[in-house]
Amino acid sequence: MTAPPELLYLLAGDKKDFAEALASLQPVDVAAALNELEPKAAAKVLCALPFDLIVQLFDEPELDRRVELFEGLDAKSAAPVIEAMAADQQADLFRELLPSERTRLLKTLTPATRDALRGLLEYPPELAGGLMTTEFMAVPADWTVQRALERIREVARNKETVYAVYVTDPVDQRLVHVVSLRELMLADPAAAVRSVGGARVPITIPPDMNREDVARLISKYNLLAVPVVNGDRRVIGIVTVDDVIDAMIREQTKDIQQLGGVEALDVPYTQIGFFAMIRKRAGWLAALFLGEMLTATAMGYFEGEISKAVVLALFVPLIISSGGNSGSQATSLIIRAMALRELTLRDWWRVALRELPSGLALGSILGVIGFVRIVLWQQWGLYDYGAHWVLVAFTVSAALVGVVTFGSLTGSMLPFLLRRLGFDPASASAPFVATLVDVTGLVIYFSVALLILRGTLL
Amino acid sequence: MTAPPELLYLLAGDKKDFAEALASLQPVDVAAALNELEPKAAAKVLCALPFDLIVQLFDEPELDRRVELFEGLDAKSAAPVIEAMAADQQADLFRELLPSERTRLLKTLTPATRDALRGLLEYPPELAGGLMTTEFMAVPADWTVQRALERIREVARNKETVYAVYVTDPVDQRLVHVVSLRELMLADPAAAVRSVGGARVPITIPPDMNREDVARLISKYNLLAVPVVNGDRRVIGIVTVDDVIDAMIREQTKDIQQLGGVEALDVPYTQIGFFAMIRKRAGWLAALFLGEMLTATAMGYFEGEISKAVVLALFVPLIISSGGNSGSQATSLIIRAMALRELTLRDWWRVALRELPSGLALGSILGVIGFVRIVLWQQWGLYDYGAHWVLVAFTVSAALVGVVTFGSLTGSMLPFLLRRLGFDPASASAPFVATLVDVTGLVIYFSVALLILRGTLL
């Protein structure tokens, strides 16, 4: 993400009259340009910008080093900038501040902002309560359409969205109805807002719903925003579609990194420090290495067989990697289906009943290819697998069927097991499955060999 | 995704008075209930529903078997349903129809619908042109705000969204400005629409932009819709945020399945047929197997060394899997960073310069663990690695450093290479990288062994 060079020039230079150039830019592009500058230069440029743009920049999740830049603002402008920011972005910024700084700043805010912010900070950022913003548009159910539209005109400037209007009971403030601005504009101005639009039950979410489920709901019902209600069905905030998209992108990044066997990175690859990255990778890599050490133990257990029939060792990587590959396929299919809620915990046996024949079929395909390979190499004189080469070919084939079937079953069941134990099923990374399957694959292979080759090679 | 049982009962039963029950439901939930029914029952229920709901159902991408259900409608209602559907959903439905059916249906439509539909069908569904819809709100730049608002009230019912209004040049119809409905409502009714809102250059996309880039753009600028313009800067359609979310979810599913080494499934895991799934998995699995056969060749090449020092064989799975794991980590990090456009092709050398020391550091960590493991097992009498066990430990350690470094480099460079060759970098699946690294890992391991152990074990 690089900003156009002219923009960098404009920002870095000391020109005072770049107001016009700035006006034609989107705030997110100005943020990208600031991200490219040295910290000191960025802070200097920021202070020279118009107040409204500063607020818009701090409202941009794409602005890097928000805390540092914020701390670089002079004391007089910090509080007004916070006051003018969207509530969800205020909360995000506060989450990053040091506790001491946080307490100090809270004191400078108006009581209303302070209370709203404290409410939002109660929730972690992965839950609806941590994603939501409090600037929504609510009107009592007994208002007329015209009065509601007038109110929207008055307060629109300070609301995150005015395209969804939350209609509440005039007495107890519970949510009774949701109308869109489009429906209000088309309705009879004298009608009561409660009567506008369909009679559908409003879609709401609790503050502890996780961001994946919020994203799925917003996407399923094609919403621009969804109201977060407390136990009394009072609206305490809304989650808007743009926050959900950002959350989806973060979630997707986490899933792909985990599937690759890395702890989720939190910051872009291009920005993470060398040692931070090593830490994120070394943990899983070392854990997998420790697990994989069991292969050395298993191989040691069969050392006698290997020294009798070195030909067996030749196919070890081929056989165990095939198990790992089929396991990796199964795990990625199941992790995704679970994330999309196509599968739940209780479907585990349906999946097992499906993966068993799939594994057998896939293993048989590889078994046939493996058999043909050994026969051809032997016949064409490319390699001599010894006098009992036919038995070796059978051993490899049978082991492939067993290992691939085991791989498919392990790969598909592991995400269920992890979820059952309360872990994220997406931690069942491809390397994790491969490691599990490698150790068992060796045992399967050498057991099959003992069965088929005893009395000949072994 | 299961529908509530009462709903199934209502739909499957022969009751005629479920109008009220239906009115309280979201169309997508009715679609989910229909999905649960047998094809014949679903078709029967569908025909009994009110016309508006039928249209809303066909506008739902979540309705399964859309084509079959559509073909079950009587000839008289088919054309009106199509006419009433959103243009992007019409196009999606038409893409699934048989060519003969398509031609027959096109004739029954009004010329305007037919032309719009033909325009949309020119683009594949992965591009902006295939995602867009033609029902957007455009007004000439010389209109007043009041006139624009009146027009919105007149036509809102038939537009995909009215929250973004596209302001065009009155003479040549080029896009000159975009205003939001919120801005229009806050503006002076007598002002010209051209003067409303900021002076920012409208964000537009060409019809051949792919869906990943459209999603990134909509998310970056927090848009509800983005206009698609042709070479003349005339708006030919808009892509709305809900279509982008659906596209993002499909893209994410594809990426995760590919990373796991499966061809993307197109249909949910729970719905794909047994043989279709075997086909999707067997292709990659067999290809990887053929590649992995090179390990048997490599092992055969070193058969003499193995028979002289069987102890070397014990560590083969441990060493090659560590290379595969580090490669899988690197490839998932790079694939994701490329998908987020944090990295482009020309960054390859920056990444290589970063992955080289990372691989060395990670390899050294594993090398130390591996060395300690062998020393401890030998000292504690858990296993006897022979007289030259110290040299064996050095061999394993040095090989780990080499293999893990090679894995990190291969895993990180492969996505760049694939993109350079015009393939999707996400096809660099974890199993693909592991296979590449396995073969080379063996060569590295045995070469290191020859270097260290020549004259002693070898």
Q: With contacts defined as CB-CB under 8 Å, which chain A residues touch B366? A: 285-286, 289
Tell whether the model's pLDDT for residue B449 goes beyond 60.
yes
Q: With contacts defined as CB-CB under 8 Å, which chain A residues touch B318? A: 289, 292-293, 295-296
**Averaged pLDDT, B269-296:** 91
Q: Are B113 and B90 in contact (CB under 8 A)?
A: yes
* Record: contact A321-B25, CB cut-off 8 A: no
* Structure token digits, residue A78: 């910090």
Walk along chain A (458 residues) and give the pLDDT tens digit of each residue: 344 555 555 555 555 556 667 777 888 888 888 888 888 888 888 888 888 888 989 988 888 888 888 888 877 788 888 888 988 888 988 888 888 888 888 888 899 888 888 889 999 988 999 999 999 999 999 999 999 999 999 888 888 888 999 999 999 999 999 999 999 999 999 999 999 987 788 999 999 998 888 988 998 888 999 999 999 999 999 999 988 888 888 888 888 999 888 888 888 888 888 999 999 999 999 999 999 999 999 999 999 999 988 999 999 999 999 999 999 999 999 999 998 888 999 999 999 999 999 999 999 999 999 999 999 999 999 888 888 999 999 999 999 999 999 999 999 999 999 999 988 888 778 888 999 999 999 999 999 999 999 988 87
**A254 reaches B (C-beta below 8 A):** no
Cα separations (Å) of B236 from B89, B131, B133? 16, 12, 9
Q: With contacts defined as CB-CB under 8 Å, which chain A residues touch B281? A: 326, 329, 358, 362
CA dihedral B422→B426→B432→B437, nearest 10 degrees, is: 90
Q: With contacts defined as CB-CB under 8 Å, which chain A residues touch B369? A: 286, 289-290
Q: State the smallest CA–CA distance between residue A241 and chain B in angstroms.
A: 8
Tens-place pLDDT, residues B133-150: 999 999 999 999 999 999
Residues 6+ apart with CB under 8 A from B349: none
pLDDT at A361: 96
Residue B250: other Cβ atoms inside 10 A: 16
Residue A138, SS3?
Answer: strand
**Averaged pLDDT, B340-354:** 92
* Structure token digits, residue A303: 């050392």
Q: State the smallest CA–CA distance between residue B137 and chain A in angstroms.
A: 13
Residue B246: other Cβ atoms inside 10 A: 18
Distance CA B415, CA B259 (A): 11
* Record: contact B186-A25, CB cut-off 8 A: no
**Averaged pLDDT, B72-98:** 86
* Record: contact B328-A260, CB cut-off 8 A: yes
pLDDT at B334: 94
Decide if domain B274-453 falls under CATH 3.40.50.970: no
Closest by Cβ to A260, choosing from B224, B329, B347: B329
* Structure token digits, residue A71: 């701390």
Residue B302, SS3?
Answer: coil
Distance of CA B263 to the CA centre of its chain: 12
Tens-place pLDDT, residues A128-179: 999 999 999 999 999 999 999 999 998 888 888 889 999 999 999 999 999 9
- Give the chain B residue whose CA is nearest to the CA of A322: B289
Q: Are B225 and B135 in contact (CB under 8 A)?
A: no
| Amino acid (1-letter code) at residue A276 | A
Q: Are A156 and B180 in contact (CB under 8 A)?
A: no
User: Which spans in A37-127 are helix H?
Assistant: 39-48, 51-58, 66-72, 75-84, 87-96, 99-108, 111-121
Q: Beta strand pairing status for B225-229 and A225-229?
A: unpaired
Residue B41, SS3?
Answer: helix
* Structure token digits, residue A288: 């997998």
* Record: contact A282-B365, CB cut-off 8 A: yes
ipTM of the complex: 0.82
- Among A203, A202, A228, smallest CA distance to A127 is for A228
Residue A388, SS3?
Answer: coil
Under the banding of pLDDT at 50, 70 and 90, the label for residue B3 is very low
Q: Are A431 and B328 in contact (CB under 8 A)?
A: yes
- Among A128, A328, A339, A331, smallest CA distance to A252 is for A339
- Give the chain B residue whose CA is nearest to the CA of A155: B186
Q: With contacts defined as CB-CB under 8 Å, which chain A residues touch B245? A: 215, 218-219, 241, 244-245, 248
Q: Beta strand pairing status for A164-168 and A175-180?
A: antiparallel
**B440 reaches A (C-beta below 8 A):** no
Q: What beta strand segments (E) does A114-230 contain?
A: 137-140, 164-168, 175-180, 225-229
Q: Side-chain half-sphere of A427: how many Cα atoms within 13 Å?
A: 12
Say if residue A158 is exposed, middle or buried (CB neighbours under 10 Å; 0-12, 13-18, 19+): exposed
**Averaged pLDDT, B303-310:** 90
Q: Are A436 and A378 in contact (CB under 8 A)?
A: no
**A412 reaches B (C-beta below 8 A):** no
Any idea which residue has 């089929």 for tokens?
A: A326
Q: Are B375 and B393 in contact (CB under 8 A)?
A: yes
Q: Are A201 and A229 in contact (CB under 8 A)?
A: no
Q: Which long-range contacts (CB under 8 A, 24 or more apart) does B183-186 make?
A: B184/B145, B184/B148, B184/B149, B184/B152, B185/A149, B185/A152, B185/A153, B185/A156, B185/A162, B185/B149, B186/A153, B186/A156, B186/A157
- Among A418, A251, A89, A404, smallest CA distance to B222 is for A89
Q: Beta strand pairing status for B175-180 and B235-240?
A: unpaired
> Where does residue B246 fall: left (phi above 0), alpha (psi -120 to 50 degrees), or beta otherwise?
alpha
Q: Side-chain half-sphere of B424: how many Cα atoms within 13 Å?
A: 15
Pairs of CB atoms within 8 A across A/B: 360
Q: Which of A:127-156 have CB within 8 Å of B?
A: 149, 152-153, 156
Length of chain B as a residue count: 458
Distance CA A293, CA A279 (A): 21
Length of chain A as a residue count: 458
Q: DSSP label at B37?
A: S
- Among B304, B321, B442, B311, smallest CA distance to A441 is for B321
Distance CA A313, CA A303 (A): 10
Output the CATH code of domain B137-241: 3.10.580.10
* Record: contact A270-B342, CB cut-off 8 A: yes
Q: Which of B:169-208 have CB within 8 Å of A?
A: 181-182, 185-186, 198-201, 203
**A431 reaches B (C-beta below 8 A):** yes
> Where does residue B273 fall: left (phi above 0), alpha (psi -120 to 50 degrees), or beta otherwise?
beta
Q: Are B127 and B101 in contact (CB under 8 A)?
A: no
pLDDT at A6: 54
Q: Are B415 and B327 in contact (CB under 8 A)?
A: no
Which backbone phi and psi does B312 adopt, to 5 degrees? -60, -35
Q: Are A46 and A69 in contact (CB under 8 A)?
A: yes
Closest by Cβ to B292, choosing from A290, A322, A438: A322
In degrees, rounded to 5, the angle at the alpha carbon of residue B323 between the alpha carbons of residues B317 and B327 is 140
Q: Are B431 and A259 in contact (CB under 8 A)?
A: no
Domain ranges of chain A: 5-122, 137-250, 274-453
What b-and-e string marks burial along B79-108, b requiring 16 or more CB atoms within 10 Å of the CB?
bebbebbbbbbbbbbbeebeeeeeeebbee
- Among A458, A412, A450, A403, smallest CA distance to A433 is for A412
**A362 reaches B (C-beta below 8 A):** yes
Distance CA B159, CA B135 (A): 5
pLDDT at B332: 92
Residue A372: other Cβ atoms inside 10 A: 12
Q: N- to C-terminal Cα distance for chain A? A: 61
Architecture category of domain B5-122 in CATH: Alpha Horseshoe (1.25)
Any idea which residue has 């990444």 for tokens?
A: B351
* Residue with the larger pLDDT of the pair B339 and A14: B339
pLDDT at B16: 53
* Record: contact A256-B332, CB cut-off 8 A: yes
Closest by Cβ to B310, choosing from A218, A306, A357: A306
Cα separations (Å) of A314 from A70, B285, B304? 61, 20, 11
The CATH number of A137-250, from 3.40.190.10, 3.10.580.10, 3.30.230.10, 3.40.630.30, is 3.10.580.10
Q: Are B248 and B218 in contact (CB under 8 A)?
A: no
